[in-house]
Amino acid sequence: MEKLKNYRPTEKEPFMNDRQKEYFRLKLLAWKDEILKESKLTLQALQEENVNHPDLADRASSETDRAIELRARDRQRKLIAKIDAALQRIEDNTYGYCEETGEPISLKRLEARPIATLSVEAQERHEKREKVYRDE
């Protein structure tokens, strides 16, 4: 991200020009790298703590911690898959466009959630539909 360090995409430039695509590509890669580093540290911690606790309460606490860590790792794995999908969309020139409407996703939204596949409006409609199904 060094070469685009002071760059921020703006609405004044053409949407998803090469510079914007490179900016988001680097942002996604940095995020993925950060997740992988955290995951590696978590794995090391789990391996180091793989100790038999004679005390039942300590063992139960350790098992609970381990289960929480494994759930977090599963979420990270899913997030990496979404990051990889976003990187592929950049390659396919479909990144930044709503999968539902084909309209551009706002730069503000992409900045906050670079893996977004729906515009804010489409996401809200999607969430309302989900809520209706859950409430039935």
CA–CA gap between residue 18 and residue 44 (Å, rounded): 39
Q: Which two tokens stand for residue 28?
A: 């996604």
Please indicate, yes or no, if residue 136 is contained in any of the structural domains. Answer: yes
- What is the longest distance spanned by two Cα atoms in the chain? 64
Is the residue at 83 inside a domain? yes
Same domain, 41 and 76: yes
Same domain, 57 and 39: yes
As given in the structure block, the two tokens for residue 87 are 């990187």
pLDDT band for position 53 (cuts 50, 70, 90): low
Q: Which residue range forms the structural domain that includes residue 30?
A: 12-95
pTM for the model stands at 0.79
The Cα angle at residue 22 between residues 21 and 28, in degrees rounded to 5: 90
Name the percent of the chain lying above pLDDT 70.
89
Q: CA 55, CA 45: separation in Å to the nearest integer?
A: 20
Q: Is 110 exposed, middle or buried (CB count within 10 Å of its CB: 0-12, 13-18, 19+)?
A: buried
pLDDT greater than 70 at residue 52: no
